[in-house]
């Protein structure tokens, strides 16, 4: 019978047969797929697996801790975190064009991951032969049935790896749909916060700051985003919405008044959407009292933001993200 437990057992067995006593590396994105793929391979080969998490400095509040603390606690996985914030912010300095930002973030991501892979390969523990990827069944179908030797899914922002880093792929989720992946994640003991995480783009907050990405602006957006997420969770709405980007209009200012003083701050946009697959989306009719709490808290608690606006555009014509 095809139960979640039997999917786990069969997959673990297949990974053991493929990898044997050799070593594997797995890039964690913070998302569901790479987490479940990593957890399955860890269950199969334990210490022979090393997970790598690149912190590009464009993450939301608490995300790094979720990987370093919660994922490691749930799986016992061996984890290397690369702190590449300065490298990414340096590369993004002065850049405002959305596609340019994506290109730079993708490129720096490959660089960091590559460096970490090289350090591991050249480390004392011997060669690393396998690269774990969270490719799902729909990805396999979409790409015409097969992925190349070491091509990491481009929407995970890791393109091809250099020729001198040759890995064989381990793709434990290849036969599974998203809902099955989530069930496998729960079966493996991963926390709900990881298994039911809403989609978050690889380029992170970098494409939610309209204008140049700077450390100060990231701090502002992170604070506003964290309030919105807290209130949506408290209202029990997480499962009702697909995702709710918070966007900082960093180059726009408007006049406001707080206490006795005039302010000249930035607006943020709330972009709650409902969707089945992100190809189309509708703007979510959030309850007014929830919107009010988010707005009041953001303008009270985040000094640089004096206005909260709501995006009521569906997709199409709008995309979900603003960049």
Q: Site residues for ligand XMP, window 74-113 (CB under 6 A)? A: 102
- Any idea which residue has 């250099």 for tokens? 162
Candidate segments 11-19, 163-171, 297-305, 312-320, binder of ligand XMP by CB under 6 A = 312-320
Specify binding-site residues for ATP: 29-35
Binder of ligand XMP out of 201, 206, 265, 272 (CB under 6 A): 201
Give every CB contact of residue 277 below 8 A, 6+ residues apart in sequence: none
Binder of ligand XMP out of 27, 203, 206, 265 (CB under 6 A): 203
Binder of ligand XMP out of 155, 166, 177, 193 (CB under 6 A): 155
Does residue 49 sit in helix, strand or coil? strand
Give the nearest distance from C-beta 11 to ligand XMP in angstroms. 24
139 with 94: CB under 8 angstroms?
Answer: no
129 with 22: CB under 8 angstroms?
Answer: yes
For 318, the token pair is: 């709008």
Binder of ligand XMP out of 30, 57, 185, 202 (CB under 6 A): 202
Alpha-carbon separation of residue 43 from 16, 94, 302 (angstroms): 10, 44, 42
Specify binding-site residues: 29-35
Query: 146 — alpha (psi -120 to 50), left (phi > 0) or beta?
Result: beta
Biggest CA–CA distance in the chain, Å, is 70
Report if residue 253 touches ligand XMP, rule: CB under 6 A.
no
Cα separation, 37 vs 141, in Å, equals 18
Closest by CA position to 205, among listed 84, 321, 70: 321
Does residue 47 sit in helix, strand or coil? helix
Q: Site residues for ligand XMP, window 46-75 (CB under 6 A)? A: none
Report if residue 321 touches ligand XMP, rule: CB under 6 A.
yes
183 with 32: CB under 8 angstroms?
Answer: no
Report if residue 134 touches ligand XMP, rule: CB under 6 A.
no
Binder of ligand XMP out of 18, 42, 243, 306 (CB under 6 A): 243
Candidate segments 120-128, 201-209, 218-226, 228-236, binder of ligand XMP by CB under 6 A = 201-209
Binder of ligand XMP out of 72, 278, 291, 310 (CB under 6 A): 278
Give the nearest distance from C-beta 75 to ligand XMP in angstroms. 23
Give the nearest distance from C-beta 279 to ligand XMP in angstroms. 8
For 48, the token pair is: 């022979």
Cα separation, 82 vs 131, in Å, equals 17
Candidate segments 210-218, 262-270, 288-296, 314-322, binder of ligand XMP by CB under 6 A = 314-322
Report if residue 320 touches ligand XMP, rule: CB under 6 A.
yes
**Which positions lie near ligand XMP, rule CB under 6 A?**
102, 155, 199, 201-203, 243, 278, 315, 319-321
């Amino acid at each position: 019978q095809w139960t979640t437990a039997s999917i786990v057992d069969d997959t673990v067995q297949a990974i053991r047969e493929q990898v044997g006593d050799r070593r594997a590396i797995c890039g964690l994105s913070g998302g569901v797929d790479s987490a479940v793929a990593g957890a399955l391979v860890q269950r199969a080969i334990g210490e022979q697996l090393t997970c790598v998490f690149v912190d590009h400095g464009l993450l939301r509040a608490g995300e790094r801790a979720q990987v370093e603390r919660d994922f490691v606690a749930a799986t016992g996985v061996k984890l290397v975190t690369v702190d590449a914030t300065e490298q990414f912010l340096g590369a993004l300095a002065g850049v405002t064009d959305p596609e340019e930002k994506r290109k730079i973030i993708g490129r720096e991501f490959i660089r960091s991951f590559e460096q970490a892979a090289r350090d591991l390969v050249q480390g004392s523990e011997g060669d690393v032969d396998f690269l774990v990827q969270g490719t799902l069944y729909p990805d396999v179908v979409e790409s015409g049935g097969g992925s190349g030797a070491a091509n990491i899914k481009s929407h995970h922002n890791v393109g091809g790896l250099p020729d001198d880093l040759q890995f064989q792929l381990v793709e434990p989720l290849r036969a599974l749909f998203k809902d099955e992946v989530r069930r496998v994640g729960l079966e493996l003991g991963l926390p709900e916060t990881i298994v039911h995480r809403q989609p978050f783009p690889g380029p992170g907050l970098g494409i939610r700051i309209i204008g140049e990405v700077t450390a100060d602006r990231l701090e502002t957006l992170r604070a506003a985003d964290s309030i919105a997420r807290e209130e949506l969770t408290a209202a029990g709405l997480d499962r009702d919405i697909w995702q709710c980007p918070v966007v900082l209009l960093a180059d726009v200012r408007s006049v406001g008044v707080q206490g006795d003083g005039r302010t000249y701050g930035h607006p943020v946009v709330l972009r709650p959407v409902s969707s089945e697959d992100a190809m189309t989306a509708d703007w979510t009719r959030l309850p007014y009292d929830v919107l009010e709490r988010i707005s009041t808290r953001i303008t009270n608690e985040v000094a640089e933001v004096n206005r909260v606006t709501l995006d009521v555009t569906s997709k199409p014509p709008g995309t979900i993200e603003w960049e």
